[in-house]
């Protein structure tokens, strides 16, 4: 089984950055099939454009633009890519980085498909910083990455105590974020009191219900923008925004730049 070293991915890497042990790459995937392999470092893969499938010992992920995956070091997997342009953004993290910052790794072994929209937005911000690449980018990227790991490395017993409605509402919101949703209807569907839902939602999702839905809309918008096929007005409508100005304002609040500027960064 092939082992990939620092900064090595199957495809054409167009840019590589080194920040205090971190290796950041922007790679076009060119191989239709990549056999079982693993990387010597832990790393994130953030699919910017296109599609691919990734399989490991437990499951297969169907990955489209906006998919965020995490692999701990030496975690074997394989990839299948259709005949379309596909581009991935990677952050490789050596063991020394975890040790120097005293980050627990007990809950990070294996592979993870990260669906939390907040984590994806943080990764989009890291991607944006990698393109700015000025004197402040290294500090910004370190801070954003630490924010991601602060959520990923939560103790297992905290995760296990989540009530069943937390998973149910997350699935409901992912499937229906572009529709008009209200607290009463959600409470009835989940069979819990609106006060209970309102009070505990922040506890498990670290934001209020409205903000979480907006983050899901922005994540969807980011993946559509990457395909560069629709106007911003069409993107706003597809993602459930009332109009283009609301979309642009919400996008800038979450990502820090306008949708048009993000589309230009991708180019």
pLDDT, one tens digit per residue, over 153-186 is: 765 544 457 899 999 999 999 999 988 888 889 9
Domains, the chain, with CATH or none: 2-154 (2.60.120.10), 162-267 (1.10.10.60)
pLDDT, one tens digit per residue, over 51-74 is: 999 998 888 999 999 999 998 887
> Strand 2-4 and strand 33-39: pairing?
parallel
Task: Supply the pLDDT for residue 217.
Answer: 95
pLDDT, one tens digit per residue, over 99-114 is: 888 887 767 777 889 9
């Amino acid at each position: 089984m092939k082992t990939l070293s620092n900064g090595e991915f199957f495809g054409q890497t167009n840019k590589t950055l080194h920040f205090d042990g971190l290796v950041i790459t922007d790679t076009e995937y060119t191989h239709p099939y990549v056999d079982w392999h693993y990387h010597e470092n832990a790393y994130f893969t953030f699919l910017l454009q296109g599609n691919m499938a990734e399989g490991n010992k437990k499951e297969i992920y169907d990955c489209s633009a906006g998919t965020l995956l995490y692999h701990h070091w030496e975690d074997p997997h394989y990839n299948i890519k259709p005949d379309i342009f596909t581009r991935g953004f990677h952050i490789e993290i050596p063991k020394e980085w975890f040790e120097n910052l005293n980050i627990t790794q007990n809950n990070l072994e294996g592979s993870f498909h990260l669906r939390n929209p907040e984590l994806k937005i943080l990764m989009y911000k890291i991607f944006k910083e990698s393109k700015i690449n000025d004197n402040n980018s290294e500090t910004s990227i370190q801070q954003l990455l630490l924010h991601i790991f602060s959520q990923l490395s939560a103790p297992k017993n905290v995760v296990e105590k989540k009530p069943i409605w937390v998973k149910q509402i997350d699935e409901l919101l992912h499937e229906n974020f572009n529709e008009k949703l209200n607290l009463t209807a959600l409470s009835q569907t989940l069979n819990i009191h609106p006060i209970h839902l309102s009070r505990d939602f922040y506890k498990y999702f670290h934001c209020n219900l409205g903000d979480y839905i907006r983050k899901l809309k922005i994540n969807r918008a980011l993946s559509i923008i990457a395909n560069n096929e629709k106007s911003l007005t069409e993107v706003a409508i597809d993602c459930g925004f009332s109009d283009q100005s609301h979309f642009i304002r919400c996008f800038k609040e979450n990502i820090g730049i306008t949708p048009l500027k993000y589309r230009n960064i991708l180019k």
